Structure 1
Amino acid sequence: MLICTGQDATEQTKMTAPQEPRFLVLFDFDETMINTNSDEAVLCAMPDQELPDWLKNSFREGHYNEYMQKVLAYMREQNVSEESIRSAIVAFQPTPGLLNLLQYLQSHQQDFELVVVSDANMYFIEKWLERAGVRHLFRKIFTNPASFDETGRLALLPFHAHSCSRCPDNMCKQAILREYLMSRQKERGGVAFQRVFYVGDGANDICPSLALGPRDSAFPRRDFPMHRLLLGMQQSQAVTVKANIVPWTSGEDIMDCLKNITNKR
Structure 2
Amino acid sequence: MSNIVVVFDFDKTIIDCDSDNWVIDELGFTDLFNQLLPTMPWNSLMDKLMMELHSNGVTIEEIEKVLHRIPIHHRIIPAIKSAHALGCDLRIVSDANVFFIETILKHLGISECFSEINTNPGYVNEEGRLRILPYHDFNKVSHGCPLCPPNMCKGLIIDRIQSSISEVDNNKRFIYLGDGIGDYCPSLRLKERDFMMPRKNFPAWDLICKDPSLLKAEIHGWIDGEELEQILMKLINKIMIEENAQFISSDCKLQSLSITVHETLPKALSVRP
Instruction: Give the TM-score, by structure 1 length.
Output: 0.83
Query: Which residue pairs with 1:9 in the alignment?
Result: none
2:72 corresponds to 1:94: yes
The percentage of aligned residue pairs carrying the same residue is: 32
Q: Is the Cα contact below 8 Å between 1:26 and 1:197 reproduced in 2?
A: yes
Give how far 1:64 is off: 1.7
Aligned-partner SS, 2:123: strand
Query: Which residue pairs with 2:147 in the alignment?
Result: 166
Equivalent of 2:222 in 235, 238, 248: 248
2:40 corresponds to 1:66: no
Count of matched residue pairs: 233
Give how far 1:102 is off: 1.0
Deviations 1:128-153 (A, max 9, x none): 11111111111110000001112221
Moved more, 219-228 or 29-38: 219-228
- Mark the runs of 5 or more structure 2 residues left unpaired by the alignment: 138-142, 244-273
Counting only pairs closer than 5 Å after superposition, residues 97-116 of structure 1 correspond to structure 2 as 97-109=75-87, 112-116=88-92
Change in CA separation of 1:70 and 1:137 when aligned onto 2, cut-off 3 Å: same
Counting only pairs closer than 5 Å after superposition, residues 131-146 of structure 1 correspond to structure 2 as 131-146=107-122
C-alpha separation between the residues in 2 aligned to 1:101 and 1:160?
31
Deviations 1:81-130 (A, max 9, x none): 10110011121122352112112112202xx1111000000000001111
Aligned-partner SS, 1:24: strand
C-alpha separation between the residues in 1 aligned to 2:73 and 2:178?
12
Deviations 1:229-252 (A, max 9, x none): 101122xx6xx2111110012332
Aligned-partner SS, 2:161: helix
Q: CA RMSD in A?
A: 1.6
2:233 corresponds to 1:259: no
C-alpha separation between the residues in 2 aligned to 1:242 and 1:78?
49
Deviations 1:29-52 (A, max 9, x none): 000000010000012442x34332
C-alpha separation between the residues in 2 aligned to 1:89 and 1:221?
23
Query: Which residue pairs with 1:51 in the alignment?
Result: 31
Query: Which residue pairs with 1:118 in the alignment?
Result: 94
Q: Is the Cα contact below 8 Å between 1:31 and 1:95 reproduced in 2?
A: no
- Mark the runs of 5 or more structure 1 residues left unpaired by the alignment: 1-19
Aligned-partner SS, 2:211: helix
Counting only pairs closer than 5 Å after superposition, residues 1-265 of structure 1 correspond to structure 2 as 20-46=1-27, 48-52=28-32, 53-59=34-40, 63-109=41-87, 112-161=88-137, 162-186=143-167, 188=168, 191-234=169-212, 240-249=214-223, 250=225, 251-252=228-229, 253-265=231-243
C-alpha separation between the residues in 1 aligned to 2:78 and 2:35?
42
Aligned-partner SS, 1:140: strand
Q: Is the Cα contact below 8 Å between 1:106 and 1:137 reproduced in 2?
A: yes
Higher helix share: 2
Aligned-partner SS, 2:119: strand
Q: Is the Cα contact below 8 Å between 1:34 and 1:93 reproduced in 2?
A: yes
